[in-house]
Each structure stands twice: as structure tokens, then as C-alpha cells.
Amino acid sequence: MSIPDMLWSGWGDPERAAHLPDSVTDLLRELLGVREEPDQPVKLAEIEPPAPRLSARILADVVGDEHVRTDDETRIRHTRGKSTPDLLRIRAGDARTAPDAVVLPGSHDEVAELLARCSRHRIAVVPFGGGTSVVGGLTPETGGFAGMIALDLRRLDRLLCVDSVSRTATLQAGLRAPRAEELLNEQGFTLGHFPQSFEWASIGGFAATRSSGQASAGYGRFDEMVVALTLATPRGTLEVGRSPRSAAGPDLRQLVLGSEGAFGVITDVTVRVRPLPETRAHEGWLFRSFSEGTSAIRALAQDGPLPTVLRLSDETETMIGLARPSELGGPKSGGCLAICGYDGAPAEVAQRRAKVRALLRSRGGEFLGDEPGENWAEGRFSAPYLRDALLDAGVLAETLETAGFWSNLPRLYDAVRLTLTHELPSSVVMCHVSHVYPAGASLYFTVVTAQGDDPLARWQRAKAAVSDAIIEAGGTISHHHGVGVDHRDWFVREAGPLGVEVLRAVKHRLDPEGILNPGVLIPPAG
């Protein structure tokens, strides 16, 4: 396997683990009332996944012996995703949901054949890209099945073609984002998709979960980039997308996007690409309040021009960020930090930047220079490392997100904050807007709290309450993390009974035995 393994008990490259200075640890403990001794993960070698329930023979026939793994370590590394609850469980040595085997197909046809066989033998299948789900997307309910395999797509790692006239590229699903960027960059293009999971996530995962990247203001969401895709299902292959747009019936691409492995396995996607930008710049702005800042970025979203990156932290997130004054060129007295990023040709960027600056100034923004922007850009993928360090220090950190229409955003923001602070006293709740649309925006919350005696139960209670609050306040249960198992009960409320029936009908047609990620997205049938 040419792709490095992610830290089994946490995020990313073990060499890049974050270390909290004692002063920060002390501060957090003081602030959050952390009393626990540091909570260290068990040793990998000490974890014993359950005995495999299935013979790998029928799968090895398809992909070859060397591409079926049943060793404990590989199974543990494919157990669950990277939500904080996932980490709490695996750090405690709980590998009860480990797949019986990890299978690595090398082609679309092998995927299709594996699905047909698994369907015949009632073996549950978890499509596995980067393994970065934070919503239980890799933890299906496999009761009643003969076994469960993780279908690791890392061998589907090629850039299949670039159409430089149409500015599209066809990428295999298992391609990791950094490698995809590298291959496209070599031909002068970029995808421009940089979610926080960028360094580990896969192209197929982006499509299956409707990922949205930090530069979505400029490049769009991943689901907006996709113009065609191929889906392997137990009942055959679905190929959709003959044209960027069409009036030939419902848009089947939009039925596959967001299907989270429950309808089939996406094996390749054709996406819109753009010329590699000549320059990339970031800058910081300060607003007096979240509502002033929100109104300013709404003006950009509705009347333009849009920066490539646009995010606005609330007062708390700004304050926590300011605990490191070096990042912001000196302490400020409150307010809300906004980051604007600009990709493009120098002249175009200069023009756009000037217009954005004029608008933000007219809306009360104070220009902070490039440094806060460049600092943000430098650390943009590192937050998950910090979470591991916090977990080690007895602190629980987790994120959740929603989106809604602009007019409803204040209500949604209040509902989430009030619920979290009620459920988790002595916690820090921070928020930012990081994805904007003409009609609305996302809200992304980070919660930091003491782990307490039973951090998992504590978090799950709070998470359920806040999910209720989101649905009751008219928000969507996820703007870009997805549904998985964790959000399913609320997604059911969001989609309504008839919406769920429609999705179940689609699933039943494509996956009549229900082997694909059972319980992910929609409740198992019956």
C-alpha cells in the first residue's frame, strides 16, 4: 500500500502529532474544570477484534489473495471513522465493529463482482475511502448478515482523463485528495476542493458525502463540481452525466451524491477543474459582532464579488484564536474575525480584492492585513491533530454543523448554542460561517468540554439534544459532514416519512439484499 496509514487511534500522520504547551493544558483545565488524569489510548497490539465470521475465499477469487486482508491491525485500522466518539471507543480498545476482512479491489469490474458476490452471500459491505467519516458513516449495523467487509478503494487511484477543452477530469474514487491535486496540477489544473480532511480524504468519499471545502466560495461544493459518475451496485452499473446540465428527467447524479455508500460504490467521478491559480492570498478582517459580520458576508454572497475563501468566526471562536496573539498581530478587544482568501490571476485577484475590501469596509469591517489570513491558511488542516492532544489531556473536543436560509440563521445559531451550553455546562462553544450561498449559509460549531466520567455518554446526550434543536429550528442536520448512522434519526425527520420511503425504494432496487452500509443514511428495512 503506497498510501501511508493514518494514526489508528486518532488523526493523520503520527509524526505530526500536536503537543499542547503546559500553559494551554493548565488554562483549559482551569476553564473547563477538567479533573481527570490524562486519558491515553490503549496499545494497538492489545486490541483484539472479534474472530472473523467469514471465509475470505469467495472474495479472494475476485481480487487475488494479496488483496484480502484479515490481520488484526488492518481490521482495526478500518474500524469506524474519525469522530470524537469513534476515537473515544478505539482509544479504549473497543474494536467490536471491526470488519471481518478488508478487501482491496483494483477495478470497477472487481468492485461490481464483489458486490454481486456479497449480495449472494449476504455479506455487508462498507465502502472505505480515506476513512475520515465523522458521522458514523463507516459503522453499519451488520446484525443478520453473514459478515462484514470494508471495501478499501485505495487501489482505484488513477486520474483517468483530463478534458482540457471542457475543463473536466475523470478521477477514480480511491484517489486521495492531495494526490488528485498533484496529478491535476501537473496538467495545469486544480480541483480547488480543500476540506479540513483534505490530507486524507478520497475523491469517492467527497462525492458520497457531499463534501464542501474551505474554498467553496470560489470553487463550489464537491457536489456542484461533479458532472458525471459511475456507481457499481449489486444489480449492475449506473453511469450518469452526459452533459453539465439536462432536462432529461430528474438528475440522477444528485441521487448518487450524498448516498454514502448505501446505494452503491462510486468508482469514478468526472469533475469540473479550473486552471491552477497563479496567486493565492489570504487576509483577515475584524467585525464588531457576529451579526455585523454575517450581514457583511451575506452581501458578498448575494451581490458579489466573492472571495475564494470566506469565513467568519463568532466572538468566542475569535477570542479563543486570540489566545495566541502572535497570530493576529496583537490582542484585540473582542469582535469577530473573518478570513478572506483569493485564488486567481494577479490582476483579477487585485480587482476582486479591492471590491471585497470596499464592501467589507462599508459594512463595518476593520482590515487586519494578510497575517491572520496566512496564519489561518497555514494551519487549516491541523485542527484534527489538536483534538488528539486535547483528548490526551482529558478534554473532549468535537464539531458539528448545520446550514439554513439567511433569515433563519440567527435562530439556528441561538438554538445550537443554547442547547450546547445547557447540556454541557463549563464548555466552550465556538462557531463560524464557512460556506455561503445567495440564499443562506452554514454554521460550524466546535465544542470543547471536560471529558467527565463517561465522555461518550455525555457527548451523545448533548449531541442528541442539539440535533433535536437543529431540526426544530428549521436547519439541515448536516451541511457537509453527512448523515451516517449518527445523524440518521434526525435525517429521517428532515426528509419526512415519504422522503425516506423514496430513498428506501431506490436502495431496495439497487441493493435488494441491503448489504451496502446497512443502517447508514436510512434505517434498515423492516
Within residues 454-493, the interface with its own copies by CB under 8 A covers 474-483, 487, 491
Closer residue to its own copies, CB minimum distance, 38 or 304:
304
Binders of its own copies among residues 325 to 364 (CB under 8 A) are none
The three cell numbers of residue 224 are 456542484
Q: Which of 150, 435, 451, 519 binds its own copies (CB under 8 A)?
A: 435
Q: Can you tell me the distance from the alpha carbon of 337 to that of 321, in angstroms, rounded to the nearest whole number?
A: 9
- Rounded to an integer, what distance in angstroms lies between the CA atom of residue 425 and that of residue 365? 32
Closer of 322 and 500 to its own copies (Cβ): 500
Phi, psi of 146 (to 5 degrees): -75, -15
Q: Which of residues 267-286 bind its own copies (CB under 8 A)?
A: 272
Between strands 236-240 and 440-450, the pairing is unpaired
> Cα-flanking dihedrals φ and ψ of residue 254, to 5°?
-75, -10
In the complex with its own copies, which residue's Cβ is closer, 41 or 192? 192
Nearer to its own copies, 252 or 465 (CB): 252
Taking contact as CB under 8 A, which single stretch among the options 26-34, 116-124, 239-247, 360-368 is the one that binds its own copies?
239-247
| Binder of its own copies out of 200, 406, 413, 459 (CB under 8 A) | 406
- Nearest-approach distance from CB 504 to its own copies, in angstroms: 8
Looking at residue 148, what DSSP letter applies? E
- Please state at what angle helix 84-91 crosses helix 383-392, rounded to 10 degrees: 40
Among 87, 257, 310, 395, binds its own copies (CB under 8 A): 257
> Distances from the Cα of 298 to the Cαs of 211, 301, 370, 415, in angstroms?
22, 5, 22, 20
When binding is defined by CB under 8 A, the residue of 69, 221, 387, 417 that contacts its own copies is 221
For residue 176, the one-letter residue type is R
Nearer to its own copies, 75 or 488 (CB): 488
Task: Tell me whether residue 27 or residue 439 sits nearer to its own copies (CB atom).
Answer: 439
Residues of span 30-69 touching its own copies by CB under 8 A? none
Q: What angle do the packed helices 455-472 and 84-91 form, to 10 degrees?
A: 160
Residue of 19, 65, 334, 405 interacting with its own copies (CB under 8 A): 405
- The closest of 143, 121, 150, 145 to 57, measured between CA atoms, is 121
Cis link prior to 49 (omega < 30° from 0)? no
Q: Which of 190, 259, 375, 427 binds its own copies (CB under 8 A)?
A: 259
Q: Total binding residues for its own copies by CB under 8 A?
A: 82
For its own copies, the binding residues in 504-523 under the rule CB under 8 A are 504-506, 508-510, 521-522
Q: Which of residues 365-404 bind its own copies (CB under 8 A)?
A: 402-404
The β-bridge partners of 226 are: 271
CB of 398 to its own copies, least distance (A): 17
Contact region with its own copies (CB under 8 A), list: 179-187, 249-257, 357-365, 385-393? 249-257
Tell me how far apart the alpha carbons of residues 129 and 165 are, in angstroms, rounded to a whole number: 29
Q: What are residue 283's DSSP bridge partners?
A: 340
Residue 469 beta carbon to its own copies: minimum distance, rounded to whole angstroms: 14
User: Does residue number 163 form part of the binding site for its own copies (CB under 8 A)?
Assistant: yes
Is residue 150 close enough to count as binding its own copies by CB under 8 A?
Answer: no
Question: Among 292, 371, 295, 369, which residue's Cα sits nearest to residue 335?
Answer: 292
Specify the residue for cell string 453539465.
Answer: 244
Among 36, 94, 251, 371, binds its own copies (CB under 8 A): 251
Side-chain-side CA neighbours of 334 within 13 Å: the count stands at 3
Query: Which one among 107, 291, 408, 421 touches its own copies, defined by CB under 8 A?
Result: 408
Check binding of 129 to its own copies (CB under 8 A): no
Which residues, 180 to 219, sit near its own copies by CB under 8 A? 209-212
> Minimal distance in Å, beta carbon 287 to its own copies?
18
Query: What strands, in cross-sheet order, belong to the sheet with 147-152?
Result: 68-69, 101-103, 147-152, 123-128
> Which of 128, 152, 158, 400 lies closest to 260, judged by CA?
128
